Every structure is written in structure tokens, then in C-alpha cells.
Structure 1
């Protein structure tokens, strides 16, 4: 329910005056215009100190790892913690696309969420559409702190240690090829918005 102020609180001459709230009826409410939305800021830390599923081995020689150990550095390099893994399979019998070793800090300010009426533009399609859509306003800045991930293809969605035998809990048939790896430390400025259109 929406209320309107019928009085004013004042501190003039140190005499308190109180305001009374009264409910608006439907006729008065229909005369009001408002604008709603959500403005979000936040920080997301992903596996900054290493993940919970894999322990970091002492050596970066895969043949010496236990079943629950994994390093995300090349063999022979310094041992590093592993990050989050996301795998997507496009076809039932196809391979997997993976974002692997996702970790770091991602922060943003100014992500907005609101509804918007599309009733014009879009080369005439907006007038015919004439409905509300969901609008995500991109944040002004996205800050990355020691953020990284690798994009690759694999024959399985979950990661397995191919240096261990099946009896040790490994999977010698596991294959993954990383196509590129990204390390980001800095600020990115973005503009624009994303519209989500309803479907019947």
C-alpha cells in the first residue's frame, strides 16, 4: 500500500510536529507515475585460495599425485592451486567445451535491473511488439584482481588424472587440450544493456 504525507515534521522552535500517513485510494493511485529497478554492486571471489575438491600436490609430477590431488601448472613448473571448472556438451555424442581453472576476484558497480516497455524503434517492430521486457544495464566498471581461466576441449566433463591407472582412481583415457588461457588484472569499462524478450 502507498501512503502520502498529510503533514510536515519540523524542528522549528524545538517544537516537534508529527506527520500523518493516509492510504491512497485507487483513483489517486492511478494518477501517480513511478519508476522501479535494482542497482547492484558486488564482488565475487572464485577459488582465490584454491578449490575444495582437489588438494595441491607437493610435486608437479602427475605420476606422483594421489587421486584427490591436482596442479593447474604445466608438468615440471611450480605447483599451483586449481580453480573452478565449467563444462558444456553441445551434442549427446560430442566432446566437451570447458572453462577450466577459473579463479580470482571479480567486482562490479552499477549493474541495473528493471523493466522497460518497448513500443517504438527496432525498425517499426517495437510498435507492433508493445510489451515490457527485462533490461540488464551493464555496470560502468568491472574490476579483475588476479583473475584467470583457460578455455579448452575435453573428452569428459569432469577432470580426471590421466597419469594414474584406473586402479588408482585415475583415467588414462582422459584428454584435454587448452586452446588459450587468460590472466586479467585491471579494470574494464563497459556500456550498453541487454534486453530479455518474453516468448509465448
Structure 2
């Protein structure tokens, strides 16, 4: 007795299979419309356990640290804390530095999209004149943060230096940084809308 599954497999094997790639001519291709894009979801961990440039000292007293040590705990805290990532931007050749310091934590998102979009209308009539493709980033509906933190400030150098140590010990007494604000984020942020990036010749 042949089982139903065996009969289906036998019939499928007996049928001829024809699948062949066929080239499309220009007329056929020009009549087709396509739409592409990227839909991203993920989770990123940024220096959650500290970065690689500095090790965590035993105490939170800057004068006792070696050149390769740094703590990002608040001043006067009883214990030291690992430091996160640091990004620095200098807007003028002879100017100071804007810094995003101690950036760390975990954040996840779902539904970040990337696609091209043709702008040929709207924008108070400028869209019709523009009539070009732009990049469109669709913001995710929700971004979740876990133990996220950062500080924004200004500094006279891009890289961090320990001003409490002498030059012989790897310090730089001339180093200055003023944090304008700092934040700790734990929770979710709801977002909507998109960001358009216009090309420029």
C-alpha cells in the first residue's frame, strides 16, 4: 500500500520541471516598475562595559591614576566607573573641540528603513524644480535604551588627558573640558516621520 506522502513525491518526481532564466529585452524592461529599500531591526551595545583606551582605576581620585587609567564616575563618588566611547569634532582649524563623551549602553530598534524617493512636487513649488531622487531614512517607531549614558561638552583637545598628572607621568596640566550637560537614559522613545538627505553637486 502506498502512503499519500509517497504518492505525492512519486507524482512530483514524474512531472517534468522546466525553469530557465530568460533575458528581457529593452521594451519589456522599460515597462516594469520596481521599488527597493532596506528594513532594519537590531540591538547595539556601545561600550557597555567600558572602552579599550583606559582601564578603570582602583579609586576615583584623578591624582592617583596612571596615564592609562580613567574613571567616568561623578566627582566625589566613592568608587571608580568604566568610561564609554568618546567622539570629538573640531569645527575650525584653530578652534576648540565639541565632544560627546562617555557614550555607552544598549539600544535596540525595529523598523528603521532606507530607500530612495523622487521629489518632484511639494516643498512650496520647489519640488517640481528639484525633480531628483533623495535618500529617505524612515525613523523606527520605537527605540529602547538600557543603561544608556553620555555627556556633551567642549574641550581644548580632541583626546582626553589627565590634567591631574604631571607631564612625566603622561598627564597634561593644560587640558580643559567643560561638560554642558549629561544624561542617563533607561526606557523607550517613540518616534515618527522620516529624514530626507538631498544630494548636492
Q: Post-superposition shift, 1:75?
A: 3.4
TM-score of the aligned structures, taking structure 2 as reference length: 0.89
The match for 2:19 is 20
User: How does 1:39-188 map onto structure 2 within 5 Å?
Assistant: 39-77=39-77, 78-188=79-189
Cα distance in 2, alignment partners of residues 94 and 27 from structure 1: 58
Cα distance in 2, alignment partners of residues 76 and 36 from structure 1: 54
Which region of structure 1 is more displaced relative to structure 2, 18-27 or 31-40? 18-27
User: Structure 2 unaligned runs (5+)?
Assistant: none
Deviations 1:100-147 (A, max 9, x none): 100001211111111111111111111111111111111111111100
Contact 1:67 1:168 in 2 (8 A): yes
The match for 1:195 is 196
Q: What is the alpha-carbon root mean square deviation over aligned residues?
A: 1.5
Cα distance in 1, alignment partners of residues 55 and 136 from structure 2: 41
Instruction: Identify the structure with the greater helix proportion.
Output: 2
Deviations 1:52-111 (A, max 9, x none): 110000011111111101000133312100001111112222211111100001211111
Cα distance in 1, alignment partners of residues 40 and 74 from structure 2: 38
TM-score of the aligned structures, taking structure 1 as reference length: 0.89
Cα distance in 2, alignment partners of residues 19 and 25 from structure 1: 21
Contact 1:100 1:149 in 2 (8 A): yes
The number of residues matched between the two structures is 189
User: Structure 1 unaligned runs (5+)?
Assistant: 1-10
Q: Post-superposition shift, 1:31?
A: 1.9
